[in-house]
Structure 1
């Protein structure tokens, strides 16, 4: 059963002299009046009566009163709570007449219901943490938020590196005519030496041919005398000619040019390699960035899924980046009535048995907002007892100089009329 306040009587507490109130079971009960008349004292008295000595005002007794404070509250299930006497002793009587104490009250009284400003004044993350602990997803959502933050920071760093690599690659000059690998001067010199050696061998063969031709000339002149020798020489000559006919000298001009230009060629090769490496690095970091983006999306989807399946106390209420969000607005952008809705809904979720909440200073709301908030309370079956600096028709009772106006009027009617004195008459 949801516990609510059926009626209350308060005497001699703070600014209150005597106040009686029967709040509406559902919706908004507004305690009106000017400043310093005792409106907030009513809320403080309820908090003290139900919440225990931790809510006892530092100067509980009304100044100037010789009668100690008296608090009497009847709950909707018949439970009676009293504080009276010199020490304001607590007396709790259940519907069956059995005595009880503060422990019974603590079972259904939500501490934040008695001190809603404590929740309202908490920072955004504290409010969100309260909600998440209530619905049982706080630890998991914190893990997801930390994972998202870590991935976001990692992706940011990767993206910055990828941008630098890409910019560096774009600034590099590329030479399409350069070799793919660094050219070795030693290799070119070895090739040159091999060609020169082959050319030397060719030269030796040419010189041999020349020598044979000279000798042939001599032999020819002595043909008659050296006929046999001539035959041998003719065979040698034919062999030498065949060997010489197939010889072709290779040019070293290309190698000499390569050797002369090797530094420039290698500069171009290195430039091309640097550009290709920079492009590869840029692509690699771009791929990492894309993977991290996908992972962040997964984490955010997991957060949304977690909150979508959580038993949130109010439709449209969620948590984003560690802060409460209602109807797409963070706390600092919510209207006054929306803030009260959110706070009241969360407080009720903390202890569903507690069906009431105490609110102070509703003068910040205009009449339309006040009506909307009251309608929402009735729709939710919640009881709110609130104060407002006003004496208008929206107020359920008016506190004036520590009295509710109805009580004050009653005392005036009960007071004997002053008699006029006449000489000789008693």
Structure 2
């Protein structure tokens, strides 16, 4: 069921007194001077269909000095009549051509009309975020853009946090000297070195005692040959004992190690800390790379999903910041491209009610009007355009709330 306005009647709505318009063709011009009721004609179409949304946008639908206002739209398969009174919010009836009334008129209109009277020029003036929301509402996406954006932002924020860690750790790592391969892997205990030195000193002392005893015995052997056997036995025992001990150990290296031990240990600690920072840095860099890969995968998923979406206009898409056309921001497209895209979106948003309204149509040049007429004829849409005209020769001329 495709609907267009076959006839519009409005009485006392906003600036209108009484108008009866039976449009012809795909483009309907509503002309005249300013403050005569041109906009009220286009608003009357929307007000009849939009219900509460139109009521909230229009604080005073009834013409000054009147008690009631009526708008009647003949849409072919539906006849919509909405009345406003000063005492209540008014009434709505939706009838079939045979006079049968629908029990839930506003619900029927909402289901049949969807986005209602869309103004393509209003879309071109929307901020980027609102343009994006309008586009997403028009097409059937295989993913939830908000959910995907939340996922992307979560990964991006985590990657940013990891990146700060990487920068911090790189600064810490730069503060350390390069590793010294001659240093031991772990710190050395002064107590261990002292104990080792004590064992060496004790060994030296015992060795010296053994040598002295041997010397004394040799002298006694020379002097006391009669005690040779006993002394020889003792000598043998001492020689055996001497064999069990190490040769004299130089204590200087121990003293040198003790003198530089704390400095060496400090360097060992610094080297261990550097190794820990380097390990953490490597881990953070790996995590940063992994999050970068996740961001790329999200973008790839998004690109693959967008490739499957059938947009109303070839080349139309969107990114995180807004609508794009042929890969560039929509705001950077030419005026003709913006108009073509906006009209196509408006048509896609209104598949049943094939009616568009354009306020401030005087801003359009002749080329733009030709383009709108071409698109309206191509897709069988009815476009109502408000234009300021002093000559009184353009379209339906509204003068003091009536068709002249």
What band does the TM-score fall into relative to the shorter chain?
0.7 to 0.9
Q: Deviations over 1:13-62 (max 9, x none)?
A: 44445545444554x43322221122112112223344458647665565
Q: Deviations over 1:396-418 (max 9, x none)?
A: 344344444xxx4xxxxxxxxxx
Q: CA–CA distance in 2 between the matches of 1:89 and 1:279?
A: 76
Asked if 1:304 corresponds to 2:303, the answer is: yes
Gaps spanning 5+ residues in structure 2: where?
none
Asked if 1:8 corresponds to 2:8, the answer is: yes
Q: CA–CA distance in 1 between the matches of 2:85 and 2:169?
A: 81
8 A Cα contact 2:72 2:80, kept in partner? yes
Asked if 1:156 corresponds to 2:155, the answer is: no
Distance 1:200 1:107, change over 3 A: closer
Deviation at 1:344, TM superposition (A): 4.9
| SS, match of residue 250 in structure 1 | coil
Q: CA–CA distance in 2 between the matches of 1:232 and 1:91?
A: 141
8 A Cα contact 1:11 1:19, kept in partner? yes
Asked if 1:196 corresponds to 2:196, the answer is: no
| SS, match of residue 113 in structure 1 | coil
Deviation at 1:387, TM superposition (A): 0.7
Q: Deviations over 1:332-357 (max 9, x none)?
A: 55666656655555554455211112
8 A Cα contact 1:337 1:370, kept in partner? no
| SS, match of residue 211 in structure 1 | helix
Aligned 1:105-184 pairs, distance under 5 A: 105-110=109-114, 112-113=116-117, 124-133=128-137, 135=139, 137=141, 140-174=144-178, 175-184=180-189
8 A Cα contact 1:119 1:127, kept in partner? yes
- TM-score, normalised to structure 2, is 0.80
8 A Cα contact 2:32 2:389, kept in partner? yes
Q: CA–CA distance in 2 between the matches of 1:206 and 1:279?
A: 56
Aligned 1:257-268 pairs, distance under 5 A: 257-268=256-267
Deviation at 1:326, TM superposition (A): 4.0
| SS, match of residue 183 in structure 2 | coil
| SS, match of residue 248 in structure 2 | coil
Q: CA–CA distance in 2 between the matches of 1:276 and 1:394?
A: 86
Deviation at 1:181, TM superposition (A): 1.1
8 A Cα contact 1:188 1:255, kept in partner? yes
- TM-score, normalised to structure 1, is 0.76
8 A Cα contact 2:340 2:371, kept in partner? no
Cα-Cα RMSD: 4.0
| SS, match of residue 172 in structure 1 | coil
| SS, match of residue 386 in structure 1 | strand
Residue equivalent to 1:213: 218
Gaps spanning 5+ residues in structure 1: where?
409-426
| SS, match of residue 5 in structure 1 | coil
Residue equivalent to 2:362: 363
Aligned 1:2-401 pairs, distance under 5 A: 2-10=2-10, 13-17=13-17, 19-23=19-23, 25-26=25-26, 28-51=27-50, 55=54, 60=61, 71-75=71-75, 77=76, 79-81=78-80, 92-100=94-102, 102-103=105-106, 104-110=108-114, 112-113=116-117, 124-133=128-137, 135=139, 137=141, 140-174=144-178, 175-219=180-224, 226=226, 229-230=227-228, 233=231, 248-321=247-320, 323-330=322-329, 344-390=343-389, 395-401=394-400
Deviation at 1:250, TM superposition (A): 1.6
Distance 1:19 1:336, change over 3 A: farther
Count of residue pairs the alignment pairs up: 395
Greater alpha carbon shift after TM alignment, 85-94 vs 200-209: 85-94
Deviation at 1:96, TM superposition (A): 3.7
